[in-house]
Structure 1
Amino acid sequence: MKKKFTSILIIAAMLILCACGNSANEPNDTSPVTMTDPSGAEITLPKQINSIVVLAPSLSEIVVSLDMGDKITGYDSYSAGIAGLPENVPTFEITNPDMEQLAALAPDILLVTNESLYDQESPFQSLIDAGTCVICVPNRDNIEGIKSDIQFLASALDASEKGSSLLEDFDEQLKELAEIAAGIPKEERKRIYFEVAPAPNMYSFGSGVFLNEMIEWIGAENILADQSGWFTVEGETIAAANPDVIFTNADYLEDPVQEILDRDGWADISAVADQNVYCIDNNSSSQPNHNIVKAMRQMAEILYPDYYAAK
């Protein structure tokens, strides 16, 4: 009798363990995960992520940094050349991608920014209906927003551990730059004009743009910070503001620095007269992601070599 009772207990314990195991694992494996993307849209993540298409270089760089580059099966033409992206895969326009080609790829996830929402309320609805999870990450205008996007993408792509490491490194570099900037005396702080498109249609920015925050973060001042957003600017405005240093990232010109130095009416600007005109890396100064620290450090070492260059 005692032997029979012991056997019953063992069987009961085994049944309980099996039941607990199923309840602990099955929901994670079978239940869809629904969340809100940075654009405010509700999305349902796929159970497994085997293929990703990215239509923005800023997002391509984040996905690669999350060690998910091998999952990318297509990307925008501006992302071409980013280290870590696969070669010989389809490329697309950002603002008007080939929908038939996208549908043929049938990616598990499509990553876009607000630049891809070209004059339509829901241009990717057919892909969503076919089962693709479309995630929109609008271009950010500040550093905190960039951090938030990295954290979101790491979670959505099931790369939280790598995302935490990436954000930790980003934060450490930002902290280092800010601590150095805090030690620069007010009288040594430089006034900057940063140009993103050259004459005759000069284009720059004021407050509310991540580039403006980058300039202020390293201890400098944007001469156009009294305005907001992105805008065209007149040459007379820059001449009157008389910046100490001019930066440009218009690297598609043969010699963007010389083009600025040779402009009519700019000879008396301090930056031009003193030859303080520099070309800044276009990629890291244009894409709102963790790589902005490369452009920040480049600018900082040009502006304040005694403070930053030795670091």
Structure 2
Amino acid sequence: MKGVLGWWAWVWVALGLCGALVAPARAAPVTVTDDRGVSVVLPRAPQRIVSLLPSLAESVCALDRCDRLVGVDRYTQWPQALQRLPRVGGGLDPNIEQIVALRPDVVLMATSSRAADRLRALGVPVVALEPRSHADVRRVLLKLGELLEVDDADRVWRHIDAAIRAAAQSVPASARGTRVYFEVDPGPYAAGESSFIGETLGRLGAKNIVPAALGPFPKLNPEYIVRADPDLIMVGARTGPALLQRPGWSELRALRGGHLCLFTVEESDILVRPGPRMAEGARLMARCLAERAPRAIAASGGRR
């Protein structure tokens, strides 16, 4: 009897050892320092994510982690799969109760969001990231790669960068040097040289009438644009019809000559979001320069 019991004891020991050998390794903690300089420590890579900024949700999807998003802000529309997710308000007015109810492992938001302190007080980790330039977009992609444990997050930036180079090559020489005014909002708020939009325009060979000294997205006095008298205007289709109603704008050479690109709502969303769709935005701006820039039109004999 003792021999039988001893034999079973050895069996149980062996099984225990085997179980220990095949047991999955415990997930390692993940630490990320966000754009506020705050070090955020999570017990493992987040499996349930709420995003309060469209460009961050788009970046998560570009890193092949779309399935981890469980809630997004009201402005996130792309990719299509995200439209079925709960909407939790905007970055400035999020629904805190709804966010908490989604049990997120982390909430991604802009540094300008006022919700960070309230969420942290409720025990919800927050990572604040806000890309404003090309370098920022790459840095944020790498930060998200760390957070989500993506091995080669930089591949997304390499694709964006290569696409912008290709778009620049598509711009005819006759369109280079075109003086451009890009309006992001009818404030009017402009995309200055130091913004990610301005940087793309610069890589396409255009000249931005709003210098970097005025900031990335300054609110301008409409008279500033009248004095600058740009060669080409890029603006959302909803704003376009009202441009001629602004004092003095009917005399702008761009409006008199039809050197105006009106972007659809969908195109505007692509253009104003610093994330993975910047490549498509570059193509939209390059097409505008090729088709509507004064010298490009003249070079084509007016056939555009």
Detail structure 1 runs of 4+ shifted over 6 Å in the superposition: none
Corresponding residue to 1:147 among 134, 138, 148: 138
Matched residue, 2:301: none
* RMSD (CA atoms): 3.0
* Alignment equivalent of 1:269, drawn from 240, 243, 252: 252
Identity %: 26
Mapped to 2, the partners of 1:88 and 1:292 lie a distance apart of: 24
Q: Which residue of 1 aligns with 2:33?
A: 36
| C-alpha displacement of 1:176 | 2.2
Contact 1:202 1:232 in 2 (8 A): yes
**Structure of greater relative contact order (alpha carbons < 8 Å, 6+ residues apart):** 2
CA contact (8 A) 2:193 2:199 kept: yes
SS at match of 1:79: coil
Q: CA deviation at 1:259?
A: 2.0
Letter of the 2:283 partner, please give it.
R
**Secondary structure at the counterpart of residue 118 of structure 2:** coil
* Aligned positions of 1:141-290 closer than 5 A: 141-161=132-152, 163-179=153-169, 184=173, 188-198=176-186, 201-225=187-211, 227-229=213-215, 230-249=217-236, 251=237, 253=238, 256-280=239-263, 281-290=267-276
Q: Kindly provide the CA deviation profile for residues 188-225 of structure 1, in whole angstroms up to 9, marking residues without a partner as x.
A: 42001111222xx3221433221211211110011111
CA deviations over 1:66-97 (Å, ceiling 9, x no partner): 22222211111111464221515242231132
Partner of 1:85: 82
Kindly indicate whether the alpha-carbon contact (under 8 Å) linking 2:45 and 2:148 is maintained by their aligned counterparts in 1. no
Aligned-partner residue type, residue 150 of structure 1: L
Amino acid in the other structure paired with 2:232 = V
Distance in 2 separating the partners of 1:180 and 1:261? 31
Q: Kindly tell me: are residues 77 and 269 of structure 1, through their superposed partners in 2, closer, same or farther at Cα, counting changes over 3 Å?
A: same
Give the TM-score taking structure 2 as reference length.
Answer: 0.78
**Structure 1 residue runs without a partner (length 5+):** 1-13, 307-311
CA distance in 1, matches of 2:286, 2:35: 31
Aligned to 2:100: 103
Q: Work out which of the residue numbers 66, 69, 82 in structure 1 matches 2:66.
A: 69
**2:27–2:43 CA contact under 8 A, matched in 1:** no
Separation in 2 of the partners of 1:88 and 1:263?
Answer: 40
**Which amino acid in structure 1 is aligned with residue 129 of structure 2?**
V
- What is the CA-CA distance between 1:272 and the residue it aligns to? 0.7
The reply to whether residue 114 of structure 1 matches residue 102 of structure 2 is no
Tell me if structure 2 keeps the 8 A contact 1:54–1:111.
yes
- The Cα shift of 1:114 comes to 1.3
Conserved 8 A contact 1:92-1:98: yes
